[in-house]
A and B are shown apart, each in its own frame.
Chain A
Amino acid sequence: MRAGLVRSGGVHPSGVSALLAPFVLLALWQLACLTGLFPPQVLVPPSEVARTLASMAASGELERHIGESLFRLGVGYVLGAAAGLAFGTTIALSRLAEAALSPLFMALWQVPVIAFVPMLVIFLGIDEPFKVAIVALAAFFPVALATFDGVRGVPRAWFEVARVYRTRLADLVWRILVPATVPAVLTGLRVAITRAWIVLVAAELLAADSGIGQMMEMGRQLFRIDVVLAGVVVSGVIGFALDRGAKAIERRATRWRTA
């Protein structure tokens, strides 16, 4: 019994060290600042960053920045992902649509999304439409490609079975196409949300009056290293949460495959 307890304690060293490591990291960071290894103009201790975060949260400033960023992300992502789903399905189902549209699509896909920023600024200005558009663009390409691959990957035999059963189009989409393509599409949706977040932060760094990116850029201009670090932490946590949340949804939705 005792041996069993001891062993069960030793089985999860990775779990413990995984929890321990961030604390060790924070402690080392704090120590490096306290000992004067890094002057406060260069690096502020985590306690200072936490205090800045707390005061920004208390004044509602942090909430406003996060809210603005997430709102842009949400609107742009829904638009871009919906367009990507529709486009990917269309060029996967129709050979004619593929021949007509995929060359242009592939050419545009060669351009890093961030390189569309100067052009979008000229067409849309630097306000909300620009930020929503760049997020939508970042989400569109991965979703369209993943949907295309997913739908193309559905075995022909399944369509033939559907034809034998004279399945209606709605049933074909809902009962064959959707379940068969969900894994690939969800992966595309997950890649899209993390890319969209990165591009949004970059766009906010460049031109915004609010949002996490703008908060960091303003902090830089004011030499407020605590504000910059707070922004780094918040954007990291949000990126991490988006990725983990998307992965959890992916696992849940594809559980039936392994079962």
Chain B
Amino acid sequence: MNAVLSKPWLRLAIGLVAPALLLIWWQWQASSGDVRSIAFAPLGSIGGAFLELVENGSLVSDMVSTLSRSLTGLVIGGALGIAVGVAMAIWRPLDRLLGPLLHAIRQVPLIGWLPLLGLWFGTGQGSELIVVSLSAFFPTMLNSYEGVAGVEQRYLDVGRIYGFGAFQRFRLILLPAAMPLILTGLTQALAFAWIASIATEILLGIGSGLGVTMQLAQTQQRIDIILVTVIATAILGFAVNYLFRQLRISLLRWQPASL
């Protein structure tokens, strides 16, 4: 058995059995003529929907707008998260002041803020971007805080011996030491921002984006379009997270222990 599994192509073949069975079952459901078969679009029409979405360009433009929404949220939430997290770790009074508020906000499922933000800013792109930014803010803030607060005392001692000023201590000791955790925070933030983008797009259904198209397709009972966008979501999410992880590894190559 182990000999069989050690051959990569056989392993791949075994791994493809379950998806193939799923597709056959799906096709069988779609063509059974049952009442429920309306929900199952035949495989051919899913391929057709894919070609249709590619040809009219909406698949690409949806991917671009969801991705740019996530990245904008990541930049806003991530920058604020690093700033607030580092500031709270360096200056304790700020921690006492902001900490309880931020931790209270964090308890509420982020999507739960959507109705309130909808009342304040309208159910538009603004509310969407705030939720996405918030979802990127918290992991970055928490990890940056941990990174700076957990700097080893001996590094700080060395800095004191060299007579570092506050800025030098920050630039030469705190920031490099906290960098692995800050990047971990940003990696988590990207995944959160991605999910929050899809979620807010589904919930608000405005503008364009993969979630918007999914939601629209649901009201039109177009399972073929839903499946194409779900698959696009999975592939794009995987690719972006993979690239980001590679970036993190190359940024941190000076610190093999943290990988």
Contacts and interface: CB of A to CB of B under 8 A. Distances in A.
Main secondary structure, interface of A, reads: helix
A219 B113 CA distance: 12
Nearest to B231: A111
Interface stretch (B51-59, B138-146, B163-171, B214-222): B214-222
A112 B237 contact: yes
Most chain B CB neighbours (cut-off 10 Å) among A110, A198, A216: A110
Contacts of A219: 115
A104 B11 CA distance: 13
A60 interface: no
Contacts of A118: 202, 214-215, 217-218, 226
Contacts of A99: 5, 11, 14-15
Interface string A182-207: 00000000000000011001100110
A122 interface: yes
A259 interface: no
A115 B211 contact: yes
Contacts of B118: 220
B116 A201 contact: no
B133 interface: no
A240 B107 contact: yes
B203 interface: yes
Contact of A96 (B14, B111, B230): B14
Given A103-B19, A104-B19, A115-B214, A110 B235 contact: yes
B15 to A, nearest CB: 4
A222 B69 CA distance: 29
B18 to A, nearest CB: 5
Interface stretch (B72-80, B93-101, B177-185, B249-257): B93-101
Interface of A: 17-18, 21-22, 24-25, 42, 95-96, 99-104, 107-108, 110-112, 114-119, 121-123, 197-198, 201-202, 205-206, 213, 216-217, 219-220, 223, 225, 228-229, 231-232, 235-237, 239-240
Closest 4 pairs between A and B when the two form their complex, measured CB to CB: A21-B100, A118-B218, A103-B15, A220-B115
Given A205-B112, A236-B107, 9 more contacts: A22-B104, A96-B14, A100-B17, A101-B18, A104-B19, A118-B214, A122-B221, A231-B112, A237-B107
Interface of B: 1-2, 5, 11, 14-19, 22, 39, 96, 99-101, 104, 107-116, 118-120, 194-195, 198-199, 202-203, 210-211, 214-215, 217-218, 221, 223, 226-227, 230, 233-235, 237-238
25 contacts: A22-B104, A25-B100, A25-B104, A42-B120, A95-B5, A99-B5, A104-B22, A108-B234, A110-B237, A111-B233, A112-B237, A114-B198, A115-B198, A116-B230, A118-B218, A119-B218, A123-B39, A201-B109, A201-B111, A205-B114, A219-B115, A231-B112, A231-B115, A232-B112, A235-B112
